[in-house]
Amino acid sequence: MLTGQGLSVARRSLGEVPGPDTDIWLVDTLGETGLWLRAVSLAFIGGSLGQAGGHTPFEAAALGVAILHGPETASFASAYAALDAAGAAQTVRDGEALGGAVASLLGNAGKRRAMAEAAVGVRARLAADAGALAAEALALMETRA
């Protein structure tokens, strides 16, 4: 997909290491997401171009990373809707659109930064909403005890 856009890709799960001419290092190994998200300004959240329903965008949002994702986000639909509405994330329909979006955003640091800042804001708001909901639920449980 990405190589069709003229981008050079190295894939971590295959043991490939990026070189000076590598545009994208596809980090597709388990248990390392937080480490890699701290080192990038743009991430594609997988599982969203097929039928998987999308993986969680919360780590990327919390770490201030601009987010790209596919249309299949049922597993985290409300989070993706909030991120999209805030301009923190962008939907791509297929591999060709993904390659184009990556190339465009890599060439626009200001846009990536704005998306990342919006992502942090959305994550903070969603966390506050979840905390308020939990507090209300606990209060209701205490009054019924």
For range 101-127, the mean pLDDT:
94
Q: Is the pLDDT of residue 145 over 70?
A: no
- The predicted structure's pLDDT at residue 46: 87
Q: What are phi and psi of 26, to 5 degrees?
A: -80, 105
Q: Is the pLDDT of residue 2 over 70?
A: no
- Residue 4's pLDDT band, with cuts at 50, 70 and 90, is confident
What is the dihedral angle through the alpha carbons of 74, 48, 125, 29, rounded to the nearest 10 degrees?
130
For range 34-51, the mean pLDDT:
90
Does the reported pTM lie above 0.85? no
Q: Is the pLDDT of residue 58 over 80?
A: yes
For 87, residues 6+ apart whose C-beta sits below 8 A from its C-beta are 114, 115, 118
Helices (H), 7-66: 33-37, 58-62
End-to-end CA distance of the chain: 57
- Residue 52's pLDDT band, with cuts at 50, 70 and 90, is confident
For range 34-57, the mean pLDDT:
90
Q: Which of 142, 129, 123, 95 is nearest to 37 (CA)?
A: 123
Higher pLDDT, 135 or 52: 52
